Structure 1
Amino acid sequence: MHYRKLYNYGARFSQDKDFVRDCLQELFMELWERRARLSKVQHVKPYLLTALRHKMINESFKLKRFKQYEELPFLSDVTEKPIELAIIELELSWENAMRLKTIISGLTSRQQEIIYLRFYQGLEFVEITQIMDMERQSVANLLHRSLREIRDKWLAAEFPTTLLLFFLPFNYLIIRYLSKFL
């Protein structure tokens, strides 16, 4: 019942589809083998998502320990992008993450909670309504307002820079034109 959602969630962590399928298969096998010792779970989906995440992390650590000699990164052919581009992308990603974190911290506590539950925990509206003790439509409205506020703040922070870049060539031409007469 939850396989497709779990697979999609696992695909966020790894591009290797076989690795995700193997982790899911092993997770279900472990759950089946330990079914008599498992405690009752009220929310199955969040439990399975958490278990899959832990399984994928543990398996990826195991795989990194047993890499073959030829698979070591410094011995492979350099077909990746230059390190400078990777560093720039990493810095931009970090800056965007910090900017988003700042914007989210400016939201109300209810808005922060709904963003966390929906996007960081990956919960569905039904689960969020139970956790936050709200009606489904209220949850949808709160999430919509929160996302709109995040978008507006994000665009407001970008607008001055974008505006400056838009008018920069025009300003340069005006200054150049006026300098002929001065």
Structure 2
Amino acid sequence: MKLQHKFGLLLSSLSLFSFISSAEAEPKVVTSIKPIHSLVSYVMDGVGRPDLLVDGSSSPHTFQLKPSHATMLQEADIVFWIGEDLESFLETPLDSIAASAKRVTLMDSDQIELLKFREKNVFDDHHDDHDDHDEHEDHADGHDDHDEHDEHDDEHDEHDEHDEHDERRRT
């Protein structure tokens, strides 16, 4: 009976160990920004869940690495990021904290078509092309018919004279 108990304990330990091993087999994936996180999450569905460095309340332009981010990078097996040209804030942390993680730099991929950098906002000139919107200038003309009310007020003044006349009769 003692042997059966030890055998059961051994089986329980092995099943617990296999559970822990399968949990550890889940890759630790870190992504830099939301669009990458969305894509990686879709690919990892059922396998694991990637961590996101620049979350909803942060901006890549003002991002500051927190201790929790450093922990994510330190524990990462793989890090997905755009690249140093757009995410220069990650270059040093990836080299030092996440040195053992595999790094996937999307700008280096030959499967992605890179667009040229824009030197000025392409939407700046949009507001200069509203010459066809002159109808707004004529909007005030649509209220000329309200001037009739001014004449109508004068008519009421004439009626006031009658009121005075009525008051004289009463007294």
What's the TM-score once normalised by structure 1's chain length?
Answer: 0.20
> What TM-score results when the alignment is normalised by the length of structure 2?
0.21
- Higher fraction of helix: 1
Structure that is richer in strand per residue: 2
